[in-house]
Homo-oligomer: A and B are copies of this chain.
Amino acid sequence: MGGVTSADVARESGVSRTTVSYVLNDKAGVSVSPSTRRRVLETAARLGYAPSAAARALRSGRSDLVLCVLPDWPVGPVVETMLDHLADELAERDLSVLVHHVRGDRPLAHLWRAVTPRTVVGLAPFDPADVRAMRQAGVQVVGDDVDSAEAAALEDPQPRIGRMQAERLISRGRRRLGYATTDDRRVSDFAERRLAGVRAACVEHGLAEPLVIPVRVDPGSAASAVAAWTQADVDGVAAYNDEVAFAVLAGARDAALAVPADLAVIGVDDVPLAALASPPLTTVTQSIEHEASYLAACVLAALDGEAPPTRPHDPPTLVARESA
């Protein structure tokens, strides 16, 4: 039932468990005679021995697991790509990435205690109490705003994204902007911060407040939003993300509006389908690879007890296609 233990290997090769442990872990500073070493290695292989991670974790309080905690927002291709990169980079250090989607209000403590990860990476800020508890238990905590919510707020990239959208629209001659926000509560914070950037750009360019309308990802919702914008002479719409932009595009189509001539539309994310939209969607994107590398570097630095690397200055970029 319970597999082969180090005691089995020790008995079988006629040495103590200590020696087995030394050999198997290549313990530095201890020299084991070559013949013994060989015998132990051979026996372990023959018996198919694999150490119990539970025991090891209990003993040493650490594991080779990196727990990645995702907030409860919808995870699109962007986050997924990021996780892939992260896993790749950490794999080189023999770290396995485990992903957990936070559901409802189940306490986080249950989870990280259950996993005993070496590091916990959060994609949204943790509860400070959770951070404290994890740190106290010797778990590295890495992530957005873990240490300084203020610092993060100062360099929040979201408003820049919104600003960039607005500036593109304005540079294309748009004079009255609309904002297609999401009705998904879980990300309304994001939407709000992006919208702030749009607002700021409007103010700077002497334009009126953007007309904000929530748009669901379905044709009907988009149609009525487009009607309202048309009514208000809106000629350019910045969407919360590419999905919402697709909806706006569909709404414009239904209303027989030409894009971008009658209504320009710009999204955020550059999802794979963006290039295939009708017309191809102009959008703003952040370099996911950079962000992932940064996160990986944070994890590695924490592991090596080094100071966290400085966040790369990673401005969003415009992907200019036809819709705006």
Contact = CB atoms under 8 A, between A and B. Distances in A.
A232 interface: no
B99 A48 contact: no
Contacts of A218: 275-276
Interface in A69-112: 75-77, 80, 83-84, 87-88, 91, 96-101, 103-104, 106-107, 109-111
A143 interface: no
Contacts of A133: 3, 48
B98 A98 contact: yes
Contacts of A106: 91, 96
A87 B48 CA distance: 31
Given A58-B55, A58-B58, A276-B217, A101 B84 contact: yes
B83 A103 contact: no
Interface in A46-84: 48, 50-55, 57-58, 61, 63-65, 67, 75-77, 80, 83-84
Given A101-B83, A106-B91, A51 B113 contact: yes
A2 interface: yes
A316 interface: no
Given A58-B52, A133-B48, A276-B249, A91 B104 contact: yes
B101 A63 contact: no
B280 A219 contact: yes
Interface residues of A, number: 65
B99 A101 contact: yes
Nearest to A1: B138
B2 A61 contact: yes
B65 A75 contact: no
A54 B57 contact: yes
A110 B50 contact: yes
A280 B217 CA distance: 13
A278 interface: yes
A257 interface: no
A312 B257 CA distance: 46
Interface in A214-260: 217-219, 222, 243, 246-247, 249-250, 253
Given A115-B115, A246-B273, 12 more contacts: A48-B129, A50-B109, A54-B54, A63-B114, A67-B98, A88-B103, A91-B103, A98-B99, A98-B100, A98-B115, A253-B278, A273-B273
25 contacts: A3-B136, A48-B109, A48-B129, A50-B107, A51-B113, A52-B116, A53-B114, A53-B115, A67-B98, A87-B101, A87-B103, A88-B103, A91-B104, A96-B114, A97-B100, A99-B99, A217-B276, A218-B276, A219-B275, A222-B276, A243-B272, A247-B276, A250-B275, A250-B277, A273-B273
